[in-house]
Homo-oligomer: A and B are copies of this chain.
């Protein structure tokens, strides 16, 4: 089965929609939150646990896997699905974001990017063709064109230059792509300039990718600016293709993104804060390490029905954190991902039921107290 996308229901009050993505490894119901498995593992969790939590697709990072264990090893293992024992859909990014943000030094040219490994300082050169070849080796169901992600803030001239290069690299990525069982998405850039975002959306749309990502947001800008960019960009993205907002995963941004027509999200936030004892609950975020939970024998989130909330108390999870037990971060990671999947399910229902804004307002009141 090759890649396809079908929209199911469209919100009358906003750009939100529900849909279903089909891939060679199964279907994904959208809008969807994708847990991040940077190094071929969603930190602390096994694939069978992710299925239990309800994950339908995960993301993995090309930059990390290229450096370690190396795409050659993953290819010889039979691809990323087999290597990590996850038989549902996978999406890989292009490595573009990482070579710009993680590399100690990087030099950008028309040809590609020279960067230093964060592991051993060795030098590497990555061209759009390399990124796609690596992603062909990894074998994810959805892969990304190599792009240049400009920082926030960026002056107009540089934003324009980076965007135009991203378009040329998108073309080169497309030409280098060799596997028709993988869907290659184009990535819209343009930093924080409305006209550039519109132009980028149009140029990429003309290249006819099976899906489109919005890159270069959530890189330090105020959330209102991100929302403004979505408001101007999404109308110029094809309606019949999935829209993926990269690197975004806080509850408020997921909700606001869905309202603005986004179908796919990924973010390390849920699992990263989990390992630092921060849990998302229906009544807002809590830091479970705090002394007040020492003798709190209620679940992490009394309104949650995940395995962790059914099995363990706040007092126990706090104890695990205080005692520096590895299980601590796992239990909260499990819960936080479950929480975001449930949020996405609630958003789907709200779109279908026509009460998206009421849902948002109530969620915000309970979660953020505002």
Q: Which A residues lie at the B interface, using CB under 8 A?
A: 39-41, 43-48, 64, 68-69, 73, 76-78, 83-85, 294-295, 297, 311-313, 315-316, 318-320, 322-323, 325-327, 329-330
Contact = CB atoms under 8 A, between A and B. Distances in A.
A69 B294 contact: yes
Interface centre among A41, A48, A294, A312 (most CB of B within 10 A): A41
A327 B41 contact: yes
A41 B320 contact: yes
Q: Which of A45, A297, A327 has the largest number of chain B CB atoms within 10 A? A: A327
A85 B316 CA distance: 9
Given A69-B322, A83-B315, A312-B85, A46 B327 contact: yes
A78 B320 CA distance: 17
B311 A85 contact: yes
A297 B327 contact: no
B77 A316 contact: yes
Nearest to A42: B327
A322 B45 CA distance: 17
A252 to B, nearest CB: 29
A319 B39 contact: yes
A83 B317 CA distance: 10
Nearest to A331: B46
Contacts of A322: 68-69
A51 to B, nearest CB: 12
A102 to B, nearest CB: 14
A67 to B, nearest CB: 10
A232 B327 CA distance: 42
Contact of A330 (B316, B320, B326): B326
